[in-house]
């Protein structure tokens, strides 16, 4: 399987991060958005190599993880495990 060079992937990664920054700003997360933009710009403005690609991928994953945590009230969603006991007829959900 042929892989793209970092120079081919960096613009798309950077664009995805900027899209995420815009979403964060719209949600009122301006400080976090500014940090993400600064970190991404720093990585993008250096050599377009494997290290920069890994850094941008890491920033994008982290911003997605942070967004998922925010959407779920500060709790990280984890895959649902098989039930260990019988389910009751009424579930209690935290408010």
pLDDT digits (tens, 9 = 90+) for 33-78: 999 999 999 999 999 999 999 999 999 999 988 776 666 565 444 4
Structural domain boundaries of the chain? 6-71
Q: At residue 95, does pLDDT exceed 70?
A: no
**Rounded to an integer, what distance in angstroms lies between the CA atom of residue 4 and that of residue 9?**
7
Q: Tens of pLDDT along 10-33?
A: 999 999 999 999 999 999 999 999
Here the tokens at position 85 are 């006991």
pLDDT score for 89: 45
21 and 32 Cβ atoms separated by less than 8 Å: no
Say if CB 42 and CB 88 are below 8 A apart: no
What is the Cα–Cα distance from 60 to 54, expressed in whole angstroms?
Answer: 10
The pLDDT, as a whole number, for residue 7 is 83
């Amino acid at each position: 399987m042929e892989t793209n060079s970092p120079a081919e992937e960096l613009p798309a990664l950077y664009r995805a991060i900027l899209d995420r920054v815009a979403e964060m700003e719209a949600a009122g997360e301006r400080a976090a958005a500014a940090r993400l933009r600064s970190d991404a710009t720093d990585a993008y403005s250096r050599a377009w190599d494997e290290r920069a690609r890994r850094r941008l991928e890491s920033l994008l994953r982290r911003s997605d993880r942070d967004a998922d945590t925010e959407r779920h009230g500060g709790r990280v969603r984890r895959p649902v495990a098989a039930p260990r006991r019988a389910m009751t007829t009424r579930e209690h959900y935290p408010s």
